Amino acid sequence: DAMVIQNPRYQVTQFGKPVTLSCSQTLNHNVMYWYQQKSSQAPKLLFHYYDKDFNNEADTPDNFQSRRPNTSFCFLDIRSPGLGDAAMYLCATSRGGVEDEQFFGPGTRLTVL
């Protein structure tokens, strides 16, 4: 089945230690998104790629970076995780049209010690 895959499902890191989360898709969608979701809140968009074009949200901290080396893969890099960065990180994909829904991966739960 076509899908959005996130690895790992659970990630533990230490305060200040860089961490990378990965996402891959078999849907061949143009757009890939990264969201941060904290407990009992809606997902918050960090950034997205339309093909190779990177679109950063104005309030996304500089501590968060992303890479999309090809259509299928996208990475979220947190350069110096703080305690406040502990959250669920969701990857999603879309064809990018007005009527097109987003397809979400299962998420990576990040714990910062």
Nearer to another protein, 82 or 96 (CB): 96
Asked if 69 interacts with another protein (CB under 8 A), we say no
Round to whole Å and give the CA distance between 14 and 90: 20
DSSP 51-70: TTEEEE-TT--TTEEEE--S
Using CB under 8 A as the binding rule, whether residue 26 contacts another protein is answered as no
Nearer to another protein among residue 23 and residue 112 (C-beta) = 23
Residues 30-59 that bind another protein (CB under 8 A): 31, 40-43, 45, 48, 50
What are the residues whose beta carbons fall under 8 Å from the beta carbon of 48, sequence distance 6 or more?
A: 31, 32, 33, 34, 55
Q: Which of residues 76-105 bind another protein (CB under 8 A)?
A: 90, 92, 94, 96-99, 101-105
The verdict on 66 binding another protein (CB under 8 A) reads no
Rounded distance, CA 54 to CA 32, Å?
Answer: 10
Which two structure tokens, joined as six digits, stand for 41?
Answer: 């809140």
Interface residues with another protein (CB under 8 A) are 4, 6, 31, 40-43, 45, 48, 50, 90, 92, 94, 96-99, 101-107, 109
